[in-house]
Structure 1
Amino acid sequence: MMKEEPKDWLEAELQNTLDEDIEIELEDAVLSSEIKRIYRDSHPEQMPRKLYFEELLRLQAELINLQDWVSYHKEKVVVLFEGRDSAGKGGAIKRITQRLNPRVARVVALPAPSDREKTQWYFQRYVPHLPAGGEIVLFDRSWYNRAGVERVMGFADDEQVEQFFQDVPEFERMLVRSGIRLVKYWFSITDEEQQMRFLMRIHDPLKQWKLSPMDLESRVRWEDYTKAKEEMFERTNIPEAPWYIVPGNDKKRARLNCMSHLLSLIPYEDVPQEEVELPDRVFNPDYEREYLPRELYVPQKY
């Protein structure tokens, strides 16, 4: 067995120590020790960090290949991300788009409808965000707001909800017939996991912005959301656009499983690539760089 060089061993040890120190510093800064203990007890089989990042980078590389295929063949892809508050939708979207070209893959997260939008056909405000050829659109919540939060919180009455359930299957069939590849994900977490994540957000100043009064109210209405979700699946799980459920209690595994599944649904393949060559720099012997005033520069504090 080859003996490890002292330098290699030292670098590895320093890196491990640094990672541990960073993790402890961040956790101590934002979480109470009691919440940390409860969270670790609830998640005893954490995915090894090294394995997670290896798989994440591998899948992100495949997503770049998918992006190139979509762009080359002028395909149109729509991916809906739904689920309870704090289920991990945003984290999954962030990892999917992290290394993609924002001109090809974009995220749509619409605010509450305006007074004008409330008078429009329900699907109207979503239509302008649908993809053209060569684009991927990821909806961080979608038209399924009507079947979930709007229904449970009383923003839509029974007649509006029923009309939605009658319309949405045909609306999605129209999208598919137009050439859009439509994928629908529901991120599923347990009651206990959502409570844990809400508590962590309350005690984490970097995440408190994620907690809205609506989020807190959703805790009270957990069972109402469950009933609404079950009817939504029953009435909108159509062959042309089925639902796919992502178990989300383990955030890292949920992200990887979603990315892997999305790649498996689309028959992408390698496409021709132009070779990139760096051109030679043109030097002009008469050119002199002009002096710029010091006040134009950002202060060098670091």
Structure 2
Amino acid sequence: MTGSGPEEAVAEAFEEQRGRLVAVAYRMLGSRADAEDAVQEAWLRLARQDAATIDSLAGWLTTVVGRVCIDVLRSRTARPEASYDDRLPELIVTQDGGATPEDDALLAESVGLAMLVVLDTLRPAERLAFVLHDMFAVPFEEIGQIIGRSTDAAKMLASRARRKVQDTPRPTDERQQQRAVVHAFLSAARSGDFEGLLRVLDPDVTWRTHTERGMVVRLGATEVAARIQHAVHVKATARPVLVNGAPGIMAWDANGKPVGVMACTVVDGRIVEILSVTDPERLASMDLPGGAD
């Protein structure tokens, strides 16, 4: 058996970095597919580069992936139709209480929905500085080189982003409390209990639904509860699931076909935000558990 040549050695070194690079890109872009594309672009650039000129492969790849992600984020900003309201954060749905090792691996790579929403409010340079420094401990000096700013400027960007993240209501860490709130919400929804729905909904709750016709937004506990109460006659089976590792709800029709996914953000014992998907095309593109018990 012959030894590995320089090209094989570079490929092996890249594969060792791939998992970390995908994680960086995913937290930057909020999409596993986009993250994979960014890392693939880094590989293509590496293939055209003389590896002997690279002092630190990990640093070089992080820089390339960071710059690719910045370009993607800026292109989204330049296209109004690509705003957060129209884009669906990646949702990983798994059975609640029956996680397999494969499920655990997926959830370990996912980012909580609330954090994805917060990150999406940051400017591209702020998001990169915050993600690289606070999540991956990349020095500010390197971050400054990636975004073409000074080290101090990179620190300021990360600090500004950190304040925005800290000022945003964060979901409670107690999984059992989250689960209890979502279960109470589901129970009230099944029976059309208007008062029960109001007890678990924050007065200023926001409900965004990705439908076949586009995004529908409902604001306030009264409007949300009234809409859910109105839908009590819909023939569907709904059960608790995990959405990005947090308690959520999924519904199937009589044939076991998915008809809806609902992600709930719980803060201080009440649901403050709901993101749901009923668009058949979007549902078909997601890897969803079946409806059979």
Q: Which bin holds the TM-score, normalised by the shorter protein?
A: under 0.3
Higher relative strand content:
2
Name the TM-score, length of structure 2 as normaliser.
0.25
Name the TM-score, length of structure 1 as normaliser.
0.25
More RCO (CA 8 Å, sep 6+): 1
